[in-house]
Amino acid sequence: MLWQKLYKWVDDRVQLRTLVEFLGKKYVPVHRHSVWYYFGGVSLFLFIIQVVTGILLLLYYKGSEELAFESIQFIMAKVPFGWLIRSIHSWAANLFILTAMVHMFSVYFEKAYRKPREITWLTGMLMFFLAMGFGFSGYLLPWNELAFFATKVGTDIAGVIPVIGKPIMIFLRGGEDVTGATLSRFFGFHVAVLPGIFTVLLGIHLLLVQRQGMSEPLGMENSPPAEKKTMPFFPNFLLRDLLLWLIVLNLLAILAVFFPWELGVKADPFASAPAGIKPEWYFMFMFQTLKYIPAQIWVIDGEILGVGVFSIAGLLWTLIPFWDKKSARGEQNRFINYIGLFAVIYIIILTTLGWLS
Amino acid sequence: MRRFALLGFVTFAAVLSFAGLAVAQDKCLTCHETIEDKPSTLYKHDIHFLKGISCAACHGGDSKSEEIEEAMDPAKGYIGVPTGDAISQRCATCHSDPEKMKSYKSTLLTGQWEALQESVHGKLAISGKEKIGQCTTCHGAHGIVSAKNPASPVYPLKVVKTCATCHADASFMRLYNPSLAVDQLDKYRTSVHGARNAKGDANVAECASCHGSHDIRPVKDAKSSVYPTNVPQTCATCHSNTEYMKAYNIPTDQFEKFTTSVHGKALLEKKDLGAPACNSCHGNHGAVPPGISSISKVCGTCHALNADLFSTSPHKKAFDDRKLPECETCHSNHAIVAATNELLGVTKEAVCSRCHSSTENIKGFAVAQTMRSLIEELETSVAHASTLVDEAEQKGMEVGEAKFKLRDARQARLQSRTMVHSFDEEQFREIVDKGLNTATTVAGEADEAIAEYFFRRIGLGIATLIITLLAFSLYWYIRRLERHQSKAG
């Protein structure tokens, strides 16, 4: 058959057999929490979708104050299937952050960050922050009213950080205000800087996952090998991954057709901000928290306190493999579960409140 | 009758005697009369003198003392000639006190000083020490008489000159408001109001009738009686008063009609300051009804294109020959309603049919008929295109460009309504054809967008079917593979 001939042709040159044998010997643990393993793969799939649709959008998008909005309008109305590509890009971006978030929390609750997977966790967390950066920078690119003011509010918040806040804000905006200069650099971050760093981190992350295999839940490690259920990574797990990817692809198509991503009205820097400016949903819990914090707490500015607390919490969360010694020793750590549970409930409640307000 | 005359004489004598008695006690006047100065001479005709009010009421001091040092002793409150705001403040000691005014049996309203301070004349003068206007600026000082007295400077026949003392003085007005015209009196004299006023009719409008007296505010002040949205009501104060207008034999329904008109609704309901008030067409200080041949020019100050087209159309001569008021003949005057298609054409309601019929003025009849059918065709096309664009937009389709073009079609529709005033079929058809072509293009684009909407759904259905088939195949393959694996191992 043609397929076998082609395989042999490649195998003769690059020894594909070795790779297939390696993958064939790689096993994925099977247990009642195995379902969470798939979220990493789905996130990867959505990232690939982002790259492909992003490159297609780049063929027509023009990153300038005068042309950005009109170029998206052109993509949506004139470019064949432009509407589909843009809507999929927008929907996949949101689903990507959602699945990455689920993946992060599943890893957290499974304590999969413990030795020897600290670097995998670190690269994953950095990628998660970069994904939020992708979202923040990409949101401005259509240069519409909502995006313009949301970026203004978002960068204003960065500006409240003492000492370094103002320079960061000016660096992000390319000046004192959100202007065409902000759009240009956000475009640069979105299509060059962030993807470059992300690709390196993703390479390390995937390499480590392949090298170290999937983490087993605490307690399962010590079970006798006979009692451990596993499944070959190739082809069983990979085929299941593919099946899920197909379903996600179909979901994306449905979302793009029934809920095409709106473009809104072109940003007017001289207009007053419309009512109800809200950030993207993944920033909502932080934004809503800042709204609830009083303007002044003792001698500290409320906003600075809020930003400070979130920064410290984010840092502690990222560095968890280094301070959760109990899990590293293979012992159960309920404290970590309670923190995680609190974080999940907090995010859900504050996001809902922000959505309703 | 004689009895009444006698009673009147006795009352008048009693008042004079009372005033004389009071004067007899007013040593200020006694002395000043001897030197025959102007104030004391004038004061004998002053209403305050007749009410028994002494000089000391304004100047302070002891009016009962015969000794000059004692009478004019600052310790006894003598202030000499009041200056600046002190003048009005002295007047206000009585005129702002209802009880005091009642004691003089006065029916005058109180609070003039308070109103004056709020008014444009109550702003600081260039000296920075006093208000621009004081009571004496308009009423005079020692010879003050009732405003109803023809000798008063604020009597309707005289007030226009009193106001003009400052308002017609370009060098004085330049100090306060260089952009304000100084020809109000000249214009006023050309108006119906001014002409009648000059002939001695004290009932026609003069400055105070429209601007108020003590509470005059700048025209741009929304509280001003001559602020655009207040003008119709101000004019209506007299012009809607049937009793008041009876003597002039003119209609009194102008305001009522204006409120129902397109202009009245825009001005009074929507508060659109660009809409005309009475003075926009009639003039303000030089108010007269526009002449028959100048109506199109008056309307043309806003409706410039319509007026120009009309002036160059064959109707101009025809209307002038028949002494028909131009715009008014078709659109009416105070009761102008939004122009609808019904005005045009040869139906019963159409204004064209008043002069044109199938037997009389046939050419115009045919043109009116064609214009009506063309304008209706254009409206139908624009409405159809608009509906399709809305539908496409509701379906979530991007129709920004079509919406932009739709504005051109709507613009053509507006232009066609203006072009009616050329009464030229060729020019009119050109505009309508432009609009029809644009509307057709827009409708086509909207149709395509709607078709694309359904195409997307069908496409999604096919894609979903293929993906589902693939997914099931994959699922089946995994099941088969794992069955083989479990058998093998």
Share of chain A above pLDDT 70, in %: 100
Cβ of B67 under 8 Å from any chain A Cβ? no
Mean pLDDT over A83-92 rounds to 96
The answer to whether the Cβ–Cβ distance between B401 and A83 falls below 8 Å is no
The model's confidence at residue A347, banded by pLDDT at 50, 70 and 90, is: very high
CB contacts under 8 A, B 444-463 vs A, are 456-457, 459-460, 463
The answer to whether the Cβ–Cβ distance between B399 and A263 falls below 8 Å is no
Give the gap in angstroms from C-alpha A77 to the nearest C-alpha of chain B: 6
| DSSP H stretches of helix in B334-399 | 362-394
Mean pLDDT over A53-60 rounds to 97
The answer to whether the Cβ–Cβ distance between A250 and B399 falls below 8 Å is no
DSSP A204-255: HHHHHHHHH-PPPPTTTTTS-GGG-EEEEIIIIIHHHHHHHHHHHHHHHHHH
Over the stretch B153-192, which tens digit does the pLDDT of each residue have? 999 999 999 999 999 999 999 999 999 999 999 999 999 9
pLDDT at B1: 42
Tell me: pLDDT of B24 over 60. no
Minimum mean pLDDT range among A117-131, B290-304, B419-433: B290-304
- Range ranked top by mean pLDDT from A31-35, A238-242, A291-295: A238-242
Residues of A in contact with B475 (CB under 8 A): 243
Cβ of B180 under 8 Å from any chain A Cβ? no
Over the stretch A270-316, which tens digit does the pLDDT of each residue have? 888 888 788 999 999 999 999 999 988 888 888 899 999 999 999 99
DSSP B190-240: HSHHHHHHHTT-TTS--HHHHH-STT---TTSTTSTTSTTTHHHHHHHHHT
Task: Give the chain B residue nearest A243 (alpha carbons).
Answer: B471
Q: Does residue B44 lie within any of the structural domains?
A: no
Over the stretch A315-327, which tens digit does the pLDDT of each residue have? 999 999 999 999 9
The model's confidence at residue B25, banded by pLDDT at 50, 70 and 90, is: low
The answer to whether the Cβ–Cβ distance between A236 and B474 falls below 8 Å is no
The answer to whether the Cβ–Cβ distance between A236 and B481 falls below 8 Å is yes
Residue pairs between chains A and B whose CB atoms are closer than 8 Å: 53
The answer to whether the Cβ–Cβ distance between A250 and B463 falls below 8 Å is yes
Mean pLDDT over A152-167 rounds to 90
Q: Does residue B38 lie within any of the structural domains?
A: no
Over the stretch A183-204, which tens digit does the pLDDT of each residue have? 999 999 999 999 999 999 999 9
Tell me: pLDDT of A254 over 50. yes
Q: Does residue B374 lie within any of the structural domains?
A: yes
pLDDT at A223: 76
Best probe of the A interface among B401, B454, B456, B486, by most A CBs < 10 A, is B456
- The CA distance from B383 to B235, in Å, is 41
Give the gap in angstroms from C-alpha B443 to the nearest C-alpha of chain A: 16
Cβ of B398 under 8 Å from any chain A Cβ? yes
With a CB cutoff of 8 Å and minimum separation 6, the contacts of B211 are B224, B225, B226
Q: Taking CA B149 as the corner, what is the angle to CA B218 and CA B103, rounded to the nearest 5 degrees?
A: 90
Over the stretch B98-126, which tens digit does the pLDDT of each residue have? 999 998 888 888 889 999 999 999 999 99
- What global pTM score does this model have? 0.67
Mean pLDDT over A56-79 rounds to 94
SS (H, E, C) A107-172: HHHCCCCCCCCHHHHHHHHHHHHHHHHHHHHHHHCCCEHHHHHHHHHHHHHHHCCCCCHHHHHHHH
pLDDT at B13: 45
- The CA distance from A305 to A315, in Å, is 15
The answer to whether the Cβ–Cβ distance between B467 and A246 falls below 8 Å is yes
- Nearest Cα residue to B423 out of B341, B366, B359, B354: B366
Mean pLDDT over B52-60 rounds to 88
Over the stretch B416-426, which tens digit does the pLDDT of each residue have? 999 999 999 99
pLDDT at B36: 82
Q: Does residue B399 lie within any of the structural domains?
A: yes
Share of chain B above pLDDT 70, in %: 94
Give the gap in angstroms from C-alpha A246 to the nearest C-alpha of chain B: 6
Tell me: pLDDT of B228 over 70. yes
Overall number of domains in chain B? 1
Mean pLDDT over B209-223 rounds to 93
Over the stretch B314-343, which tens digit does the pLDDT of each residue have? 998 998 888 888 888 899 889 988 888 999
The answer to whether the Cβ–Cβ distance between B464 and A254 falls below 8 Å is yes
Tell me: pLDDT of B15 over 70. no
pLDDT at A21: 82
Minimum mean pLDDT range among A93-102, A173-182, A210-219, A313-322: A210-219
Cα end-to-end span (Å), chain B: 142
Tell me: pLDDT of A350 over 90. yes
Q: Does residue B413 lie within any of the structural domains?
A: yes
Best probe of the A interface among B394, B395, B398, by most A CBs < 10 A, is B398
Task: Give the chain B residue nearest A260 (alpha carbons).
Answer: B396
Give the gap in angstroms from C-alpha A283 to the nearest C-alpha of chain B: 27
Tell me: pLDDT of A23 over 90. no
Radius of gyration of chain B (CA): 38
Residues of B in contact with A242 (CB under 8 A): 474
The answer to whether the Cβ–Cβ distance between A239 and B482 falls below 8 Å is no
Mean pLDDT over B133-145 rounds to 91
**Is A24-276 CATH 1.20.810.10?**
yes
**Structural contact between residues B409 and B439, judged by C-beta atoms closer than 8 angstroms:** yes
Of A246, A257, A262, the CB nearest to B471: A246
Bridge partners of residue A144, in order along the sequence: A266
Q: How many CB atoms lie within 10 A of CB B407?
A: 11
Contacting B with CB below 8 Å, chain A residues are 73, 76-77, 83-84, 232, 235-236, 239-240, 242-243, 246-247, 249-250, 253-254, 257, 259-260, 262-263
Residues of A in contact with B456 (CB under 8 A): 83-84, 257
Residue type, A163: V
The answer to whether the Cβ–Cβ distance between A253 and B463 falls below 8 Å is yes
With a CB cutoff of 8 Å and minimum separation 6, the contacts of B346 are B352, B353, B356, B357, B358, B365, B368, B369, B372
- The CA distance from A257 to A86, in Å, is 11
Q: Structural domain boundaries of chain A?
A: 24-276
Structural domain for B345, as ranges: 338-449
Mean pLDDT over A232-252 rounds to 94
Tell me: pLDDT of A137 over 70. yes
pLDDT at B6: 46
- Cis upstream peptide for A116 (omega within 30°): yes
Over the stretch B364-400, which tens digit does the pLDDT of each residue have? 999 999 999 999 999 999 999 999 999 999 988 888 8
pLDDT at B16: 44
**Structural contact between residues B118 and B215, judged by C-beta atoms closer than 8 angstroms:** yes
